[in-house]
Amino acid sequence: MIKNDLFLRALKGETVERPPVWMMRQAGRYLPEFMEIKKKYDFFTRCQTPELASEITVQPIRRFGMDAAILFSDILVVPQAMDIEVQMKTNFGPYLPKPVRTQDDVDRVIVPDVNDALGYVMDAIKATKEKLNDEVPLIGFAGSPWTILCYCVQGQGSKTFDRAKEMCFTQPEAAHALLQKITDTTIAYLKAKVKAGVNAVQVFDSWGGMLSPVDYQEFSWQYIQQIIDALKDEAPVIVFGKGCWFALGEMAKSGAAALGVDWTCSAKNARYLSGGHITLQGNFDPARLLSPPSDIKKMVTQMINEFGKDRYVANLGHGILPNVPLENAKAFIDAVKEYRQ
């Protein structure tokens, strides 16, 4: 039994004494203990070495005592497992030397045996569960099929993902074939994570907001829905679509346990658009963690008042920034833990 199950209770919509709190990207780059590990090992070595991944996962829990841990990994381990080369370049980000841009390219992409290709992730989950010792739940995650396609086709990060969109609009059959292969791999991957011990999963649709509402349904949402349908009876599924406020109504009917909201959508609008009966997660602007700690505490209290303490998970509206001072991150976590109506 998990000693602090506040997060899991909030996902079920139960009445809670206060909202649970965790932060996207909490395992990583703003922590000095993480930076020490980063000096010694490159990015994918950190992801692929269970001892390192598990240590990085528990570092923020030791320091700040969040109500959930999220496994240190990356969404791009999935295309790697599908035989698509992914490099992480310093001061550049992800780089895929051979982008997937034609039907022939798509045909070469494999749907792997995830336990073989991504066994190191399952080992990291088991090592993390040991370190956590049932103190708090562990979250596993994956990128949405559309977000993974964006990197596979573009070959790198982008402000527009114009090449990814071009492929979808000019070669829809190839795009859908790639999206389905990513979906099949992701479902198998998340199921394996649940079997290995994660207590909930989150799907990150980081680039969903790049699409119009109509294109979102065709190229992103229908594939996320497949993932929810396959996982929802095995573990709670959280869907976070950045910039996807327009889809909150549809998302709320999907069987997902909770929906992530970014900071561009107010609590009032998020509750209204999602119908008011599903757990919401978010949505503090990560850059606001650069404000003075006293201001952070006031804004966090206001945020909880606006969302309401039940059916709510306090979080950021995207990942924590690397330049956030530790005392400011602590102020955010403490403000939630000290919250009383």
Binding-site residue positions for substrate: 25-29, 44, 74, 151, 206, 318
93-95 and 87-89 as β-strands: parallel, antiparallel, unpaired? Answer: antiparallel
What six digits make up the tokens of 144? 């949405």
DSSP E strands, the chain: 69-70, 87-89, 93-95, 138-143, 200-205, 237-241, 258-261, 279-284, 312-316
Rounded CA-CA distance 20/129 in Å is 19
Rounded CA-CA distance 332/329 in Å is 5
Residue 298, C-beta contacts closer than 8 angstroms, at least 6 positions apart = none
Other CB atoms within 10 Å distance of the CB of residue 116: 8
Q: Which residues are annotated as a binding site?
A: 25-29, 44, 74, 151, 206, 318
Cβ atoms of 249 and 273 closer than 8 Å: yes
Cβ atoms of 75 and 121 closer than 8 Å: no
Return the residue matching tokens 């932060």.
23
Q: What single letter denotes the amino acid at residue 43?
A: F
Residue 307, C-beta contacts closer than 8 angstroms, at least 6 positions apart = 19, 267, 270, 271, 280
Residue-wise DSSP of 163-199:
HHHHHHHH-HHHHHHHHHHHHHHHHHHHHHHHHHT-S
Instruction: Give the closest residue to 313 by CA, choosing from 66, 1, 59.
Output: 66
Q: What single letter denotes the amino acid at residue 244?
A: C
Torsion sign, CA atoms 15, 264, 21, 124: positive
